[in-house]
Structure 1
Amino acid sequence: MLEIVIHVAEEFWSVLADMAPYLLFGFLVAGVLSVAVSPRFVEKHLGGRGFWPVFKASALGVPLPLCSCGVIPVAASLRKHGASRGATTSFLLSTPQTGVDSIMVTFSLLGPIFALFRPLVALVTGLIGGQLVDAFDKTRDLNMLPMMSDSMSNNMNAPQGNALKRIFSYGFVALPQDISKSLLIGLVAAGLIAAVIPDDFFLGLLGAGFASMIVMMLLGIPLYVCATASVPIAAALILKGISPGAALVFLVTGPATNAATITTIWKVLGKKTTFIYLATVAVTALASGFLLDQIMTVSDVHHGHGSHGMLPGWSGTASALLLLAILGYAAISPYLKQIRKSSFDISGAGAVLKVDGMTCNHCVANVKRALSECSGVEDVRVDLTSGIAAIYGKDFDLSALKKSVEDVGYTVSDKS
């Protein structure tokens, strides 16, 4: 038993050291994107029907570090502000599959071919799904709000300190808080797979063909796996006999779908769009997995993984220690906030809502934005740990506040 624990720990550290330099760089780029790409910029490119709004939605979604839980409220808000069903679906399909952080981790663990192929698949998936929705779902777009004015956008994105501070605050604090638990679980799972499952186990059990892809798809669709945390698991599965194509199927379906995502898409975009969404994910995942297996083999993955060993050995160790510290702090910070929850001041609030369903900092931003757009609201403060939203202002309508939160995919279970 002790030998297995040691083996798991060794594999955990090995994978962490391999991916840490690239993930830290991905965090930095994600921080830059959070400052450079505003909601106004995204919204003004996603209105109307046709190819270009769908293409831009898919392309914008590829580098953004949003998981499937975080992308839903963003997409719901985009939809509310005039994005077409096709563009919204395209954004929903491409965004959770990849992000700059997961692309860097894919490069570090699976090699450059896989790292290039994965975002390309996300882009194509978004294009296909968005075009299909525009072609087959002709439901009229009702109850859309106008696009945000520049003044509103600037007010909602007012800098909290200088740009450099905001970059590091998002990239190395907010984003790690969103993915730390799932990433640490993914690393432990990868270590367990490497330590416990014999080499080529899945090859003997499932074979190298279509059957293994179907199994990975059926596993990935209902399961919640974030785009970054799924990579160590996929790398470990490849070592145990899964083909690169089958691993890609898991990397597409896991982040793009789960039970909560499907339910919310049904509510926000309707049943026809939901069926198109699921069919697009399933078909493109299987097709891209089959294509990848024609391009590369398991040995190509191993060769690609070793091809970026130009980094000095100490950089992996130093980066792993830094990444572990960042993830560890991110994982325990909600509990520290709970201990110090009195610091969330709601004195003087005109209304206090209890919001259910917030899981990350993107959720907080979207609830704050939805409430800020309501008439009479002057300021909003939202606490992720307690799920409390404090609203300040005059002459606002409480029912309108609740509806604005529900329209972006959350529920208000209590109010005071």
Structure 2
Amino acid sequence: MSATDEIDLAAPADPPAGAATSDDPIHEPAPRPRRFGSVEALAVLLVLLVIFRGPLASMISSPRLQTWTTVFVSVLVQAVPFLVFGVILSAVIAVYVPRSFWARALPKHPALAVPAASLAGVVLPGCECGSVPIAGSLIRRGVTPAAALAFLLAAPAINPIVLTATAVAFPNNPEMVVGRGVASLIVAMTMGWLWLRLGKAEWIKLPHRPDLDGMSRGNAFWSAARHDVMHAGGFLVLGAAAAATINVVVPERWLTSLASNPVLSVLALAVLAVLLSICSEADAFVAASLSQFSLTSRLVFLVVGPMVDLKLISMQTGVFGRRFASRFAPATLVAGILTGTLVGVILL
């Protein structure tokens, strides 16, 4: 072996391709591309409105579209103040009231805790979007699941904001406010006691930690408020659009025929409440717009909506598990239809 070979063997091996050396500058990771968010979507929508303002103006001149726009805007204008106020107060209670307060305030006996938790829903002026995570946190803090579930069902339906909105939506029918409060309270307590009798602990599978854990109170408040406004507000817009579409697209004779049948009208509005998924602060205004239907069928709409709808089923699945939602939601739907119909027949 020559001297040259010895020098080559002693020399350090070349670094692999792409490996960093001490002389190479440290490259920071490339910035992530900006995602197409709500601001960009709004900008695109505004540009499209400017470009197509001519065709849109001619479309809006159509009488049917004018009727649709009138119904849609009227529902939103009446409902948005209640929605915003309810979401803000719900976020305040969810963030600034200690979760352990509810465990101390409720009776120790499970059968007595169910009606107490149902009545406690009066102090939560928020929509069902906030009641689901709060019910989950109550169970984490030692509250019996039956009481927490009764609170979950009662809170969105019997709180002062919802009952006030119902009174505003039905100014000539104050009995609708009483009927909604009574029927919703009965359903909540019935489902709580039914869980005590038939429910199983393994049906509930809670997530490991609440979404707001680890955040400051200010950040948690705004996070909860933004979440509820985005979700509840979005579903409100969809519900208002659906109500306006029903008033314009569906022939009047179809609605009259369906509404004239007591059984079909109740079932139809119960199914509609599940599909529309309207926030409880706003559903009374949508129900008031469905004037073809009887007060009893619209009461069923108001009882079922805050307890069983598509967004609630999905939220309950995420918080409590699929096995829970697949059993609890259908049972609540049946209880809401039967109780709402019975109370409507008696009071309305």
TM-score, normalised to structure 1, is 0.54
| Alpha-carbon distance between aligned partners in 1 of 2:243 and 2:229, rounded to the nearest angstrom | 19
| Residue of structure 2 aligned with 1:105, choices 162, 165, 172 | 165
User: Secondary structure at 1:8's aligned position in 2?
Assistant: helix
Q: Which has the higher strand share?
A: 1
Measured after TM superposition, the shift of residue 207 of structure 1 is 2.2
Q: Does 1:51 align with 2:102?
A: no
Q: Does 1:250 align with 2:310?
A: no
| Alpha-carbon distance between aligned partners in 2 of 1:269 and 1:171, rounded to the nearest angstrom | 21
In the alignment, is the contact (CA less than 8 A) between 1:62 and 1:123 conserved in 2? no
Provide the residue aligned with 1:94 in structure 2.
154
Further displaced range: 265-274 or 110-119:
265-274
| Alpha-carbon distance between aligned partners in 2 of 1:12 and 1:186, rounded to the nearest angstrom | 9
| Alpha-carbon distance between aligned partners in 1 of 2:216 and 2:296, rounded to the nearest angstrom | 44
User: Secondary structure at 2:305's aligned position in 1?
Assistant: helix
Q: Which runs of 5+ in 1 are unaligned?
A: 145-154, 297-416
| Alpha-carbon distance between aligned partners in 1 of 2:136 and 2:224, rounded to the nearest angstrom | 24
Q: 1:95-126 CA distances to partner (integer Å, 9 max, x unpaired)?
A: 34454443332222123332332233222211
In the alignment, is the contact (CA less than 8 A) between 1:12 and 1:191 conserved in 2? yes
| Alpha-carbon distance between aligned partners in 2 of 1:200 and 1:232, rounded to the nearest angstrom | 23
Equivalent AA in structure 2 for residue 191 of structure 1: A
Change (3 A) 1:61 1:183: same
Change (3 A) 1:189 1:274: closer
User: Secondary structure at 1:185's aligned position in 2?
Assistant: helix
Change (3 A) 1:85 1:25: closer
In the alignment, is the contact (CA less than 8 A) between 2:79 and 2:281 conserved in 1? no
Provide the residue aligned with 1:182 in structure 2.
235
In the alignment, is the contact (CA less than 8 A) between 2:135 and 2:152 conserved in 1? yes
Larger Rg: 2
Q: 1:199-251 CA distances to partner (integer Å, 9 max, x unpaired)?
A: 564231352412221233344446633323433332222x2x21122122222
Q: 1:262-283 CA distances to partner (integer Å, 9 max, x unpaired)?
A: 5746983895896466324412
| Alpha-carbon distance between aligned partners in 1 of 2:325 and 2:244, rounded to the nearest angstrom | 38
Measured after TM superposition, the shift of residue 81 of structure 1 is 2.1
Measured after TM superposition, the shift of residue 90 of structure 1 is 0.9
Measured after TM superposition, the shift of residue 54 of structure 1 is 0.9
Change (3 A) 1:170 1:61: farther
Change (3 A) 1:266 1:222: farther
| Residue of structure 2 aligned with 1:119, choices 181, 188, 191 | 181
In the alignment, is the contact (CA less than 8 A) between 1:65 and 1:101 conserved in 2? yes
In the alignment, is the contact (CA less than 8 A) between 2:84 and 2:229 conserved in 1? no
Change (3 A) 1:259 1:172: closer
In the alignment, is the contact (CA less than 8 A) between 1:252 and 1:281 conserved in 2? no
| Alpha-carbon distance between aligned partners in 2 of 1:65 and 1:288, rounded to the nearest angstrom | 22
Q: Does 1:217 align with 2:217?
A: no
TM-score, normalised to structure 2, is 0.63
Provide the residue aligned with 2:288 in structure 1.
235
| Alpha-carbon distance between aligned partners in 1 of 2:346 and 2:250, rounded to the nearest angstrom | 26
| Alpha-carbon distance between aligned partners in 2 of 1:22 and 1:32, rounded to the nearest angstrom | 15
In the alignment, is the contact (CA less than 8 A) between 1:86 and 1:133 conserved in 2? yes
Change (3 A) 1:277 1:25: closer
| Alpha-carbon distance between aligned partners in 1 of 2:134 and 2:65, rounded to the nearest angstrom | 41
Q: Does 1:133 align with 2:186?
A: no
Q: 1:125-154 CA distances to partner (integer Å, 9 max, x unpaired)?
A: 11111112213336599999xxxxxxxxxx
Q: Which has the higher helix share?
A: 2
User: Secondary structure at 1:226's aligned position in 2?
Assistant: coil
Q: 1:376-402 CA distances to partner (integer Å, 9 max, x unpaired)?
A: xxxxxxxxxxxxxxxxxxxxxxxxxxx
| Alpha-carbon distance between aligned partners in 1 of 2:320 and 2:258, rounded to the nearest angstrom | 40
In the alignment, is the contact (CA less than 8 A) between 1:61 and 1:95 conserved in 2? yes
| Alpha-carbon distance between aligned partners in 1 of 2:88 and 2:129, rounded to the nearest angstrom | 22
Q: Does 1:283 align with 2:343?
A: no
Measured after TM superposition, the shift of residue 252 of structure 1 is 2.4
Change (3 A) 1:68 1:142: closer
Equivalent AA in structure 2 for residue 255 of structure 1: P
